[in-house]
Amino acid sequence: MNTANLRSLFIIFGGTGDLTHRKLIPAIYNLHYEGRLPDQFAVVGIGRRDKTPEEYLQDLYRAIKSFSRFPMDDTHWASLSKRIYYYQMDFTDASKYGELKTFLDDLADRHNTLGNQIFYLAVAPEFFEPIVKNLKDSLLCHGKSFWQRVVIEKPFGRDLQSAIKLNATIVDAFGEENTYRIDHYLGKEMLQNLLVIRFANLLFEPLWNRHYIEQIQLSSSETIGVEKRGPYYEQAGAIRDMVQSHMLQMLSLIAMEPPTSLTPEAIRDAKVTVLKQLKRMDRETVRKSVVRGQYGRSLDQQLLAYREEDRVSPTSNTETYVAMRLEVENDRWRGVPFYIRTGKRMPRKSTEVIIQFKDVHNNLYSHVPNLEPNLLVIRVQPQEGVFLQFNAKKPGNEDIIVPVQMDFCQNCEIGINSPEAYERLLYDVMKGDQTLFARWDEVYESWKFIDTILDVWKEEEPDFPNYPANTYGPKEADELLARDGKKWLNIHEPWTALGGK
């Protein structure tokens, strides 16, 4: 594998943080394990903690053992660890960036990286803007014969105006072509596979429209609470943490028109068109079509309420659950409801897309009781796969029709070890491929849509908590679908078990 053109310094602001330990360093180790990193490559973790280089490497060694998809191999680690450095620094202190530049220039010469640099901001959102300004002022992000790229974690702003301000700062320093707004959902195998499923199969694309599809549900549920992320979550909530980024990105992939090509810009053009075509909500529609929730104690009292979590206000009105009904106003989708829900402390962890097809017109078997609909289910996590549900005769002498499933689960089989999302995304940053990263106009349009909801929420006091931990959310979310004569479809394990709540 020719990796010479990937040579670079990978610089992590927040090098001692949870994201670095759980995702970034294991991803880099796995890329090294597979031989996908060049010899001319080094990692610099920047943090404020007082650590020796040896202590830092020990921390990363333990992180890789805990979170890598490949086993810790001492030969690989010996090779990689020689190219990992720790740099202690208060990254809010502008006067320290000159010394950082000298340090990085020395490493670039030592590892022959040609001045190519990736700055990954694995820090709290309030530090994005000052770090980028300091990088620009210290000339760390200006190169003529080499490149510098910046990777920004979500949330990208708190609302439209703050996102516009942050974007202006970043693009002024790095340019749009070197700005990578990361959404790790887009690196997941099945979301990448979605384009193949749609556009490489005559079976699906002709049916991918309002004439054949009854409804589409997008669900992302977690069993955990906020864990140690109380201060962050108090500022974000479910709508900023999940809906504005992950859920709307998933929707745009499902609903977009066939792109003119598979180039990054063509795909992102098609996605942003969907976001522009989302039917805008007025205040009354928000109240009617958007549900927010916050978990209380579980029914058995074993799980704490959100307001009892560490570093969460005991009177917090931050939502941990959001459900909404959306429509895409174009010829393909007009009238088809898209239902989104995401929440914490739910009965199972899953992210999935469920596409329900319409009933057969003049169905000869309409007299059969409880005839199930055709479903296409795309499982994003933790299982990765697809299954198609259709009706067939049950073997035997009686004419009994039952739903059956054809399924493909790519990470159920022994030997399948799918790359983690961050591996794919970090590798794409090194290659300069922005396909799986949000372009500014995508971020702009998603915030433009979400801002209307946030404005309405500011005016109303929610009745929290309104769902017990370890349940599927507030009853208002069920009522939201019941008004359309529908219900949430929960695909339980094993895959062949279909049912509602």
Q: What are 428-481's pLDDT values in tens digits?
A: 999 999 988 999 999 999 999 999 999 999 999 999 999 999 999 999 999 999
For residue 499, what pLDDT is reported? 41
Residues tagged active-site:
246
For residue 418, what pLDDT is reported? 60
**What integer best gives the mean pLDDT of the chain?**
89
Read off the pLDDT band of 494 (50, 70, 90).
very low
Instruction: Tally Cβ neighbours within 10 Å of residue 141.
Output: 22
Report d(CA 110, CA 274) in Å as an integer: 47
Instruction: From 337, 322, 329, 321, select the one nearest 468 (Cα to Cα).
Output: 321
Lowest mean pLDDT among 51-55, 405-409, 416-420, 483-487: 416-420
**Percentage of the chain exceeding pLDDT 70:** 94
Report d(CA 190, CA 186) in Å as an integer: 9
The set of residues, in sequence order, having a beta carbon less than 8 Å from that of 258 and lying 6+ positions away, is: 198, 199, 205, 270
Torsion angle of alpha carbons 317, 123, 384, 439, nearest 10°?
90
- Residue 415 scores a pLDDT above 70: no
Residue type, 150: V
